[in-house]
Amino acid sequence: MAKDRSRDFQKYADMLELPHHVSATHPPMDAAERAAQFAPFAALTGYGDAVRERARLTKARPQLDEEEMEQINRKLLWLRGHPEEKPEIAVTYFLPDRKKEGGALMQVRGRLKKILEGKGRLLMEDGRSVPIRDLVEIHIVDRSFTPQL
Rounded Cα distance, 130 and 149, in Å: 22
pLDDT at 70: 96
Q: What is the share, in percent, of the chain residues with pLDDT greater than 90?
A: 49
pLDDT of residue 4 exceeding 80: no
Phi and psi dihedrals of 109, rounded to 5? Answer: -130, 135
Which residues are registered as beta bridge partners of 128? none
Q: What is the mean pLDDT of residues 47-54?
A: 84
What is the average pLDDT score of the chain?
Answer: 87
Rounded Cα distance, 117 and 132, in Å: 9
Q: How far, in Å, are 22, 127, 139, 144 from residue 110 at the CA level?
A: 73, 10, 11, 15
Q: Is the pTM of this model over 0.75?
A: no
Rounded Cα distance, 74 and 91, in Å: 14
pLDDT at 149: 57
Which residues, in sequence order, are CB contacts of 18 under 8 Å at separation 6+? none
pLDDT of residue 147 exceeding 80: no
Cβ pair 71, 134 in contact under 8 A: no
pLDDT of residue 145 exceeding 90: no
What domains appear along the chain, each with residue ranges and CATH number?
2-55 (no CATH), 66-145 (2.30.30)
Which residues, in sequence order, are CB contacts of 61 under 8 Å at separation 6+? 94, 96, 102, 103
H-helix or E-strand containing 54?
helix 47-55
CB atoms within 10 A of CB 11: 9
Q: What is the share, in percent, of the chain residues with pLDDT greater than 70?
A: 92
Q: What is the pLDDT of residues 68-102, one digit of tens each?
A: 999 999 999 999 988 888 899 999 999 999 988 99
When mean pLDDT is compared across 32-41, 87-96, 130-139, the lowest value belongs to 32-41
Which residues are registered as beta bridge partners of 122? 115, 130
| pLDDT band at 64; cut points 50, 70, 90 | very high
Which residues are registered as beta bridge partners of 130? 122
pLDDT of residue 35 exceeding 60: yes
